[in-house]
Amino acid sequence: MDKLRAMETFVRIVEAGSLTAAAAALDTSLTSVVRSLATLEGALGTRLLNRTTRRIALTDEGREYFARCRRVLAEVEEAEAALSARQATPAGRLAITAPVMFGRLHVGPVLSDFLAVHPAVHAELMLFDRVVDLLDEGMDAAIRIGHLRDSSLVAVPLGTTRRVVCASPAYLRRAGTPRRPEDLAGHRCLQFLGVAPGSEWEFAGGDDGGKTIRVPIKGLLATNQINVALDACGKGLGCGMFLDYQVRDALAAGTLRRVLQDFEPPPIPVQLVYPHSRLLSSRLRSFVDWAVPRLRQRLADG
């Protein structure tokens, strides 16, 4: 017995409301539909439908099996569509959004290389340090840093990043190096609102068993622009909390130093997300296949 064909026939019977209507929808004979259903029930050892001359009704077992059949058939259809999409030439508009600095450092170069290989695609890269609603703002995919709340999105893990506190060597010589989160009460702090929007910074670890430590900070400057916050921190105006990839170059150059490392919160996931769809465009599927391994490598290298 062709199990998938039998499952499809069963689903069509339920959706059409009768064996006769299912036969018409499948362009086959009523006898074939009746035989397929009987064979399926025999193989399963249970009745799926209660049938009379006027109507059909799902049994409890049939209702559960119907839901599972629909999921299986949808997965099969999606797998076939994915293969067909990969054979098509990617073309058309591709709209991607990402956090400002992550997009500039990582997504931009990866996207440029992708466009060089797929010249029929034209792309838009929109960089914002806020969560973008993909459907409302017409985006195909996004880079999200943080734990996802929207379960309707497909999320592909890329790696992790961490919140780190940094200051310039000149500031630390002048104000001293904080040894514990509580020491920040005596320091000037610079708030990049894309990482720490409130009036407290969160820490963990140390000798407190990993529990969360919330410390009020004195905000000398608050900004939603990462470059402004980094510039102020580099000029010795205070301590700043950033994501580690945002200060990688400054740490390597020695213009910033990392402090309170033993108290850094747990890593934050970085993911590529796109709306759940059974039929992805060839350009989006191609971009996902291209970008994911390259972005993972960039995060790992960082």
For 248-299, write each residue's pLDDT tens digit: 999 999 999 999 999 999 999 999 999 876 567 888 989 999 999 999 999 9
Q: Which of 76-85, 163-172, 214-223, 267-276 holds the top average pLDDT?
A: 163-172
- The reply to whether domains 3-87 and 92-157+276-301 share a CATH topology is no
Q: CA-based angle 90:95:97, to the nearest 5?
A: 135
What band does 15 get if pLDDT is binned at 50, 70 and 90?
confident
Residue 14: is its pLDDT beyond 60?
A: yes
pLDDT score, position 196: 81
| Mean pLDDT calculated for residue range 216-220 | 86
Residue 127: is its pLDDT beyond 60?
A: yes
| 3-state class (DSSP) for residue 270 | strand
Give me the architecture of the 163-263 domain, per CATH.
3-Layer(aba) Sandwich (3.40)
Residue 205: is its pLDDT beyond 80?
A: no
Beta-carbon contacts of residue 133 (< 8 Å; ≥ 6 apart): none
- For a pLDDT cut of 70, what percent of the chain falls above it? 94
pLDDT score, position 278: 57
Tell which CATH classification among 3.30.70.1400, 1.10.10.10, 3.40.640.10, 3.40.190.10 matches the domain 3-87: 1.10.10.10
| Mean pLDDT calculated for residue range 117-136 | 89
- Mean pLDDT, the chain, integer: 89
The total of other beta-carbon atoms located within 10 Å of residue 240's CB is 28
Residue 170: is its pLDDT beyond 80?
A: yes
**DSSP secondary-structure letter at 267?**
P
d(CA 120, CA 237): 48
Beta strands in 56-195 (DSSP E): 56-58, 92-98, 121-127, 141-145, 153-161, 163-167, 188-192
CATH superfamily of 92-157+276-301: Periplasmic binding protein-like II (3.40.190.10)
* H or E segment and range at residue 75: helix 60-87
Regarding beta strands 153-161 and 268-275, do their DSSP bridges make them parallel or antiparallel, or are they unpaired?
A: antiparallel
What band does 195 get if pLDDT is binned at 50, 70 and 90?
confident
Torsion of CA 165, 170, 172, 175, to 10 degrees: -120
Per-residue pLDDT tens digits for 62-110 = 999 998 998 888 888 877 776 766 667 788 899 999 999 999 999 999 9
| Mean pLDDT calculated for residue range 182-189 | 91
Residue 131: is its pLDDT beyond 90?
A: no
**DSSP secondary-structure letter at 104?**
I
Per DSSP, what are the bridge partners of residue 153? 275
pLDDT score, position 206: 62
d(CA 301, CA 105): 13
Per DSSP, what are the bridge partners of residue 242? 164
Per DSSP, what are the bridge partners of residue 12? none
| Mean pLDDT calculated for residue range 213-236 | 91
| Mean pLDDT calculated for residue range 190-208 | 81
The structural domains of the chain, with segments of one domain joined by +, span: 3-87, 92-157+276-301, 163-263
